[in-house]
A = this chain, B = another copy of it.
């Protein structure tokens, strides 16, 4: 059995080196591979299938709120990118430039979209005339490019997959309502589908999106106590509309500027799943995004009737669950290790003795609990355990998050927590950007968000001692 365990033993433990553990998991669970293009990755079948489940379920939630999907070009002419001042300053330093098409130099260079606000504005400018054309609630699924210097699989790569919603509304109120609505879609998706609790709040002006009036965020806590920004929703007010001249005639025949929003989630969510739920045996997937929910393991599969029974059980479960049989010629120990590494929620073992007794053994990936169930009860028990696992994974992640969320009422406490207790720090803040910058420079901690659920933790800023304006979540972030 020593050899069988090799797959697992090669993973670094989380306690020893969390970053290396992460790299080991993405490679050994076969989620990604590196490529000849620095900073870009191959998303392999096991990784892409998770993304497909995220896409399908998130897209369904979008469509329930009236979102329509579109596709805009991947190229942005330089002059278009430059139309909104803050936006171009934020993105120009990190875009890839196309300078030649075929054998000829281009008259104007094109950047590969890092995000598509400018293209949507150009499109809306032509397509919106009257109040009857509003609202526009469009979204696209695509890849974007940002020329990052340091890259990590899923968390930060030069190309990544995402969705970007872009909307245009008649009034400021409607735009603000859509911004918050989509943040809530994101938060509910993370909690209900990814089993990942999030803090909802607003970014400080320093941390907001380039060109936005307000950026809202959901922030999750990873197992190592670092924060991960997991989705953002921006209210642009009429800033882009003024830069691009996007106007409509209202019911009184007056020209008005539209109010816009955008919101996005990315393949970085796969990184979040790994870092919230994984353990020293590898990935642990929430059942709702597990490409294979149940792996049936025939034991002593060369014995007569074993493979047939495994296939029969697969047939019983296939209508309601994503289920496979591992009938490869590897040893059971190896297969178990592989199933655990890949985070498949349930393993169903069935061998000659089980068949004789008319039963199978179910093993939960997260708790490793075993359940002996009769074949008749198998489908019901599998459904029950998947539901329970989804629920308990959320509860465990929430308990971990809550037990790693600290309050600092003065600077000594703040630095002491940062040094010894990785996690979120809740603290009061004066609202000054200079103070926020100083905190970041002194400690590496950034403001994650000003949560919607404010608490009064004192009257003065944790850093400068001036009157406090907001309770803020601080943390070290990915």
Contact = CB atoms under 8 A, between A and B. Distances in A.
A36 B77 contact: yes
A126 interface: yes
Contact of A159 (B43, B74, B94, B143): B74
Contacts of A40: 73-75
Given A96-B101, A97-B99, A143-B142, A36 B71 contact: no
B143 A42 contact: no
Interface string A68-80: 1111111111001
A231 B356 CA distance: 52
A10 to B, nearest CB: 17
A164 to B, nearest CB: 14
Interface in A97-118: 97-103, 110, 112
Interface string A150-190: 00000000110100000000000000000000000000000
B123 A35 contact: yes
Interface string A34-63: 011100111111001101100000000000
Copies per complex of this chain: 2
A68 B52 CA distance: 11
A100 B102 contact: no
A171 B421 CA distance: 57
A200 B12 CA distance: 53
B72 A45 contact: no
B70 A36 contact: no
Given A36-B80, A70-B42, A147 B101 contact: yes
Nearest to A95: B102
Question: Looking at chain A, what size class is its interface with the partner chain?
Answer: 35 or more
Nearest to A126: B33
A189 B308 CA distance: 33
Nearest to A137: B45
B96 A70 contact: no
Contacts of A386: none
A76 B76 CA distance: 20
A145 interface: yes
A119 interface: yes
A300 to B, nearest CB: 21
A138 B45 contact: yes
A127 interface: yes
Contacts of A142: 143
Given A40-B73, A42-B72, A71-B43, A97 B100 contact: yes
A153 to B, nearest CB: 12
A93 interface: yes
Contact of A145 (B74, B80, B158, B161): B74
A98 B123 contact: no
A97 B99 CA distance: 6
A48 to B, nearest CB: 5
A122 interface: yes
A72 B37 CA distance: 10
A73 B145 CA distance: 10
Contacts of A145: 74
Nearest to A140: B48
B43 A70 contact: yes
26 contacts: A33-B123, A33-B126, A35-B72, A35-B73, A36-B77, A36-B122, A37-B73, A37-B77, A40-B73, A40-B74, A42-B71, A44-B70, A48-B71, A49-B68, A71-B161, A75-B96, A93-B102, A93-B103, A95-B102, A96-B100, A96-B102, A96-B110, A97-B98, A98-B112, A101-B158, A142-B143
For the complex of A and B, 3 pairs with smallest distance between CB atoms: A40-B73, A45-B68, A101-B147
